[in-house]
């Protein structure tokens, strides 16, 4: 839509409230199904495992599955927990090109010398809580559930601040206005849809 359509997807999202609502209004089936029963979710995991010959990763589900990873993450809290609910042994999170949100990477570029200070400031500003409306995850809960600290996400992706020579403008990329605190679940969702941003109202 953004590359070949007359209007950007954001226009349709604003006009109809969501991309799925715009699709329905145009007579198409929405991309996202809601309230998929547990049995159907777990059956799809089992079907995919049998088809591939190994426990499916999020990449496998995205490339070969009939259901996206997001209903699993919403229902079970993480991909690992969904796989285990299906009675399978989790293989671990892929990284690099195998990761579901891989977009080519940025080489060996770090977030810049001000990253840890800015990350701390964003966490403090956001009260050490996920900023997705309705999400109850705070720092302590996040560490219990995912065994790591809350994520601080770049709203405008890091790649937008890398010049033609591959140099990151970390002062601009790490501006407090460009950072938001998210739990692991919502960070995964934001990364998948970047550069689109969920409505935080």
DSSP secondary structure, the chain, as one string: -TTTSSS-HHHHHHHHSSHHHHHHHTTPPPS---S--HHHHHHHHHHHHHHHTS---HHHHHHH-SS-SHHHHHHHSSHHHHHHHTT--------GGGSTT--S--TT--S-TTHHHHHHHHHHHTTTB--STT---BHHHHHHHHSSPPEEEESS-GGGGB-TTS-B-HHHHT-GGGEEEE-HHHHHHHHHHTTS-----
Q: State the average pLDDT for the chain.
A: 80
Cα–Cα dist 111/133, whole Å? 27
Tell me: do 140 and 163 sit in the same domain: yes
Residue 83 lies in a domain: yes
Mean pLDDT in residue range 51-72: 82
148 and 132 assigned to the same domain: yes
Tell me: pLDDT of 199 over 90. no
Query: Does 92 share its domain with 124?
Result: no
For the entire predicted model, the pTM comes to: 0.49
Residue 142 lies inside a defined structural domain of this protein: yes
| Per-residue pLDDT reduced to its tens digit, 74-110 | 888 888 889 999 998 887 655 555 555 555 554 445 7
Count how many domains the chain has: 3
Whether 48 and 69 map to the same domain: the answer is yes
Rounded CA-CA distance 104/195 in Å is: 14
In a domain, 201, yes or no: no
What does the pLDDT read at residue 106? 47
Note down the domain range covering 61: 38-98
Neighbours of 4 (CB within 10 A): 5
């Amino acid at each position: 839509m953004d590359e070949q359509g007359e209007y950007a997807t954001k226009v349709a999202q604003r006009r109809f409230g969501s991309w799925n609502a715009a699709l329905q209004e145009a007579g198409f089936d929405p991309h996202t199904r809601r309230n998929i029963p547990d049995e159907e979710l777990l059956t799809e995991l089992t079907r995919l495992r049998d088809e591939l010959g190994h426990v499916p990763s999020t990449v496998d589900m995205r490339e070969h599955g009939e259901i996206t990873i997001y209903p699993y993450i919403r229902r079970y809290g993480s991909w690992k927990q969904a796989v285990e609910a299906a009675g399978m042994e989790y293989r671990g999170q892929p990284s690099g090109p195998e990761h579901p949100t891989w977009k080519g990477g940025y080489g060996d570029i770090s977030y810049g010398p001000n990253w840890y200070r800015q990350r701390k400031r964003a966490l403090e500003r956001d009260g050490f809580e996920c900023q997705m409306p309705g999400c109850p995850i705070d720092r302590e809960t996040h560490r219990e559930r995912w065994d790591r600290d809350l994520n601080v996400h770049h709203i405008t992706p890091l790649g937008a601040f890398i010049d033609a020579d591959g140099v990151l403008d970390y002062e601009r990329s790490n501006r407090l206005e460009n950072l938001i605190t998210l739990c692991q679940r919502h960070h995964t969702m934001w990364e998948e849809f970047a550069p689109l941003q969920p409505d935080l109202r």
